[in-house]
Structure 1
Amino acid sequence: MHEREVKTVEDAIALVEASALTHIKVGLSDIDGVMRGKYLRRDKFLSALKSGFAFCNVVLGWDLDDHLYDNVRYTGWHTAYPDAQVRIVPQSCRRLPLETGPGGERMLFFLAEFDGDAAAVCPRRLLHRVLQHADALGFDAYAALEYEFFMFNETPQSVREKGYRNLQTWTPGNFGYSVLRSTVASDFYRQLNALCETMDMPIEGLHTETGPGVIEAAIAVDRAADAADKGFLFKTFVKALAQQNGLMATFMAKWSHEHSGQSGHIHVSLRERKTGKSAFFDASQPHGMSRVQANFMAGVQRYLPEFMAMYAQTINSYSRLVPGYWAPLDATWGIENRTTALRLIPGTDKSQRVEVRIGSADANPYIALSAALGAGLYGIETGLEPAPMVEGNAYAQQFEPALKLPNTLWDAAQRLRESSTARTLFGDAFVEHFAATREWEEREFRRHVTDWELARYFEII
C-alpha cells in the first residue's frame, strides 16, 4: 500500500507492519505553528494508532523559546503540566525523503492532534471545528497557501555566532522571477520540488522574489483541512532541507528593515456540497462574484481588525505592515488589487476565489485559515455586505476608522479577546488561551533592549 492511500487506522497498521522501520515519526502543531514531535517505537506506535498516546501539555504552555507562559489557564505550574491525550491522524501518513531507517527505507511520518480537553486550544482541531460549520452550511472549503521565505548561506551555529548580524544571503541583490538564479541553483530547486511531490504538498509555482535570496512557493489548492496540513509540513521540512544543504530558510515576517516582508497569502473558495459547483462564481454578475462570495468576503473584511492576532501572530509580523511594502494596512478589498487586504480574483467555476493578503509567513496556517474561513462563513450566515470596493492604490487613500487594522500585537490581542464573534466561532477556551499567549509575546519583547534603541539613545539623549 502506498502511504498516501492510508485512510483508516487499519490501513496505517497494515503499512507499518509491512515496513522494516523500528520507529515511526509523529509531529503536531503548538500554538505558534512550530512542529513538535517524537519517534515512537513500532509497537508503541501501533498501540497509539488505536487508542492515542500521552504528550506533555507543556507544548501548549510554552513559547517559541520553550519559556513557560505565566498567564494562561489551560496549563501551567498550577496544573503541574500533566499529559494531554493525542490522537494520530492516519490519513496524514507520508514518507520523509530526508530521513531513512534500516535498509534505506524512507521514514514514515504521521501528523497528530490534541484530544480531550486539550482539543479546545489545539490549532488543528480549531480549524476542523470551523470546517464543521462550513459542512453545516452545505459547503466544502478549499484553500491554497503561498509562502515567501529568505534563504541564507548560514547554519544554526553561524547565525548565533554572528548575533544574527551581517548574514550572507543565498544570492545577492534584487532579481524577482529570475531564470538565471533558479538555473544556477537548480539542484536545490529540484530537491525542493521533489520533496514536496513526495510528501504530497506539490508546489504549483516556484520562483525568486524581489530581494536577496528570497523565494516564493505556491502550494497547490486542496480541501482546506489538507491545505493547512500541507502548509504546516512545508514550513518545517523546507527548513530541514535547507539545513541539510548547509543553508538556512526563515519564514520571519520581516528579517531586515532593508528588505520587503514575507507574506503568507491564503486563497480560499467554497463549493456547494449538493451540486459540486462553485459557490463563489456567478457568470451573470459583475466580475463573476456571486452573492455568497460577496457575503463571505464581507465577513472576512468585517472581522479582520478583530481577528488580526490570528493572521499576524508575532511582534515581528507588525514590522511588515508598513506603507509601500506590499502589505495592507486597512481591511479593504479590490478586484485584482494587490494593495488591499482582500483581493477578489475573478475566474471561472474552477478558479473564482478570494485572496487574503494580510497574513505573514510566520503565521500558524491552522489558525490563520481558521480566521479567514470562520469570518467568511459568518458573513454568509448573517448576510453581511462588503464595504465599497477600492480602486487604485489603497495606501494613498483614507478609510473609515472601523476598517483600520491593529498595528501592534498587544492591540490585536485585546481586539481578539474582546470579540464576541471570535468567541462564538472559535470558543472561549481558544480565544482566552491564544490572546494570553500573544500578550506574553508582547511582554517578552518589552523586556529587551533593541539595537535600534542603543544606536538612537546611547550617546545622544
Structure 2
Amino acid sequence: MASKLDSLSQWLKDRKIIEVECLVPDMTGIARGKISPTSKFLAERGMRLPESVLLQSVTGDYVEDELYYELLDPADIDMFCRPDPNAVFVAPWALESTAQVIHDTYDKFGNPIDLSPRNVLKRVLALYAEQGWRPIVAPEMEFYLTQRCDDPDYPLQPPVGRSGRQETGRQSFSIDAANEFDPLFEDMYAWCEAQGLDLDTLIHEEGTAQMEINFRHGDALHLADQIFVFKRTLREAALKHNVTVTFMAKPMTGEPGSAMHLHQNVVDAHSGHNVFASEDGSMSELFLNHIAGLQRYIPEALPLFAPNVNSFRRFLPDTSAPVNVEWGEDNRTVGLRVPDSSAQGRRVENRLPGADANPYLAIAASLLCGFIGMQEGLHPSPPVKGRAYERRNLRLPLNLEAALEAMEQSKTLERYLGRRFCRGYVAVKRAENENFKRVISSWEREFLLLSV
C-alpha cells in the first residue's frame, strides 16, 4: 500500500495538483468528504469523517434515533477514510488544478465499514474471487437534459438547443437531435477523456431530450467508480452550458423513465474464459443458474435498484420499462435480456436498475443475485418469446414500501451483505419515504382542493 500511495503522491505532483477532493460515496451516491490542500492531503494520507454520514438520507436527515443509536456508536465516532490509489481522477472543470480521490472507510481497528456502499461491492466481488471468477460489467446510463428551473413545483421542460428551439416529439436515435447539444457533449467527452473514463457511444433515447451513454465493459469496481465520477462530470458540463441534467428515474410526466442497464458476465480469473458459455458455445449451466438467481432474488433486493419513491413511477404501465424478472434472448420487453452475441461475449443485461440507483449498490446487488443462483444451482423459468410487459407471473413489488418490506425480511441478503447494512439501508430509505409523504403534491391541490 505504501508504494501505491507513493505513486499517488507522484501523480499529484506531476500534474501540479493544488487541491484534492477527498470523496466517500454515501447510500444515495452523493459525494461526501472534505476538500484539502494537496500538501495536507499528502501529509495525512487520509481523513476522518463521522460514521453517521453513511446513514444520511438524500434530504440530509438521519434515521430515527432508536435505530440510529443501535446501528452507530452513541458517541458519533469517526471512521478512518483511506485514499484508493486506483480511484484517482482529475476535475477538469475546476478553476484550479484539482483531483478527486475516492476513499475507502475503516473503523479504528482497520476493519472495512459495512455501511459503506463501496465496501458492499468489494464484499460481493470477494465472493466471486473465492470461486476463481471475475465479473465483467458494462453499464448504460440514461438521463434527461432540461431547462434550469429554481421552483420544484414547476414541471421540467426540455432545454433550447443550438437551433434556438425546444425539442418536441420522440427522437429515438436521432443524430440531429443529439447534435443540438454538441457544445455540452464535446465538453463532456473531453472531460471524461481527461479523467480516463471508458465512455463508448452516445445515443438519443426515446424521451424528449433524453440521452444515453454506454460504458465499455470492464472491472466492476472500476466501472462503479467511473459512474460515480461521470455523474459529477455531466452535471458540471450541464451547468457550464446553462442547462440541467437529471438522473431521476422518472423526471417528466408522459415521458419514458431513465435506466442504468447493467450488462454482466463472469470469466475464469486465470484463463479469461467466459463461464457463461459451454465448450460447444451453448449457454452453460452456470449461465442459467445466474439468470435464475437474478429472477429469484431481485424482488428481495429491489430497493438497491429502485431506491426512491420516484423510481417506481418508471415501472408504471406503458412506460417502456420492464416490470418483471422474465428473461429472453434479444428481447427488450423482459427485465433480463440476453443479447445476441458470440459465446465469449455471452452476458445478461439487467434492465431493471434505474439511473437514480447508487452504482456501487446496484452493481453489487445484480452480481450478488446471480452469484447466489450459481451457488444454489437454481433453474430459470422458460425464456419469453414476444412481448413480456403484460406477464404477471414474475412481477416486482409495486411500490417502495412493499419493496423495503421484502428486503427487510430477506435472510439471504442479510447473510451475504450483513445485518447492519441491510437494516441501515432500509432505515435510510424509510426516512426518505416518510419525508416524501409530508409533502402535498400538485395533483392533490389540482383535483382535491375544490372537489372533496
Q: What TM-score do you get using the length of structure 1 for normalisation? A: 0.91
- Bigger mean CA deviation after superposition, 135-144 or 21-30: 21-30
C-alpha distance in structure 1 between counterparts of 2:249 and 2:89, whole Å: 28
C-alpha distance in structure 2 between counterparts of 1:143 and 1:53, whole Å: 31
C-alpha distance in structure 2 between counterparts of 1:318 and 1:75, whole Å: 30
Is the CA contact (8 Å cut-off) linking 1:68 and 1:76 kept in structure 2?
A: no
The equivalent residue for 1:54 is 48
User: Which of 80, 97, 107 is 2:92 aligned to?
Assistant: 97
RMSD over aligned CA atoms reads 2.0
SS, match of residue 202 in structure 2: strand
1:324 positional shift? 2.3
1:310 positional shift? 0.8
2:364 equivalent to 1:376? no
Alignment of structure 1 residues 133-152 onto 2, 5 Å:
133-152=127-146
C-alpha distance in structure 2 between counterparts of 1:7 and 1:255, whole Å: 46
2:435 equivalent to 1:441? no
2:17 equivalent to 1:25? no
Is the CA contact (8 Å cut-off) linking 1:7 and 1:90 kept in structure 2?
A: no
C-alpha distance in structure 2 between counterparts of 1:153 and 1:391, whole Å: 40
1:266 positional shift? 0.7
Distance 1:295 1:213, change over 3 A: same
1:77 positional shift? 9.3
1:185 positional shift? 2.7
2:414 equivalent to 1:418? no
Q: How many residues are treated as equivalent by the alignment? A: 441
SS, match of residue 31 in structure 1: coil
SS, match of residue 63 in structure 2: coil
1:262 positional shift? 0.6
2:149 equivalent to 1:165? no
Alignment of structure 1 residues 261-272 onto 2, 5 Å:
261-272=257-268
The equivalent residue for 2:240 is 244
User: Which of 243, 260, 274 is 1:278 aligned to?
Assistant: 274
SS, match of residue 150 in structure 2: helix
C-alpha distance in structure 1 between counterparts of 2:185 and 2:13, whole Å: 34
C-alpha distance in structure 1 between counterparts of 2:70 and 2:240, whole Å: 35
Is the CA contact (8 Å cut-off) linking 2:203 and 2:213 kept in structure 1?
A: yes
C-alpha distance in structure 2 between counterparts of 1:75 and 1:95, whole Å: 38
Q: Percent identity?
A: 26
Alignment of structure 1 residues 28-39 onto 2, 5 Å:
28-39=24-35
User: Which of 216, 226, 231 is 2:227 aligned to?
Assistant: 231
User: Which of 93, 96, 111 is 2:102 aligned to?
Assistant: 111
1:19 positional shift? 4.7
The equivalent residue for 2:420 is 429
Is the CA contact (8 Å cut-off) linking 1:61 and 1:75 kept in structure 2?
A: no
C-alpha distance in structure 2 between counterparts of 1:48 and 1:278, whole Å: 42
Is the CA contact (8 Å cut-off) linking 2:330 and 2:339 kept in structure 1?
A: yes
- Structure 1: unaligned runs, 5 residues or longer: 1-5
C-alpha distance in structure 2 between counterparts of 1:96 and 1:366, whole Å: 21
Deviation per CA, 1:381-425, whole angstroms, max 9, x where unpaired? Answer: 1111111211111123331xxx23111111111111110110111
Is the CA contact (8 Å cut-off) linking 1:149 and 1:361 kept in structure 2?
A: yes
- Bigger mean CA deviation after superposition, 173-182 or 377-386: 173-182
C-alpha distance in structure 2 between counterparts of 1:460 and 1:344, whole Å: 49
Is the CA contact (8 Å cut-off) linking 1:169 and 1:212 kept in structure 2?
A: no
1:34 positional shift? 1.2
SS, match of residue 354 in structure 2: coil
C-alpha distance in structure 1 between counterparts of 2:254 and 2:354, whole Å: 17
SS, match of residue 320 in structure 1: helix
1:73 positional shift? 3.4
Amino acid at match of 1:413: L
C-alpha distance in structure 2 between counterparts of 1:76 and 1:281, whole Å: 43
SS, match of residue 269 in structure 1: strand
1:45 positional shift? 0.8
Alignment of structure 1 residues 53-452 onto 2, 5 Å:
53-70=47-64, 72-73=67-68, 79-101=74-96, 106-116=97-107, 119-154=113-148, 159-161=149-151, 163-165=153-155, 167-170=157-160, 171-173=166-168, 174-282=170-278, 284=280, 288-399=282-393, 403-452=394-443
Distance 1:212 1:12, change over 3 A: same
Distance 1:451 1:267, change over 3 A: same
C-alpha distance in structure 1 between counterparts of 2:299 and 2:133, whole Å: 25
Amino acid at match of 2:89: R
C-alpha distance in structure 1 between counterparts of 2:181 and 2:150, whole Å: 26
The equivalent residue for 1:3 is none
2:3 equivalent to 1:13? no
The equivalent residue for 2:163 is none
Amino acid at match of 1:127: L
Distance 1:349 1:40, change over 3 A: farther
C-alpha distance in structure 2 between counterparts of 1:89 and 1:237, whole Å: 20
C-alpha distance in structure 2 between counterparts of 1:296 and 1:383, whole Å: 8
Is the CA contact (8 Å cut-off) linking 2:307 and 2:400 kept in structure 1?
A: yes
1:354 positional shift? 0.6
1:39 positional shift? 1.4
- Structure 2: unaligned runs, 5 residues or longer: 161-165
User: Which of 438, 442, 448 is 1:457 aligned to?
Assistant: 448
1:29 positional shift? 0.5
1:448 positional shift? 1.8
Is the CA contact (8 Å cut-off) linking 1:345 and 1:353 kept in structure 2?
A: yes
Distance 1:7 1:215, change over 3 A: farther
SS, match of residue 271 in structure 2: coil
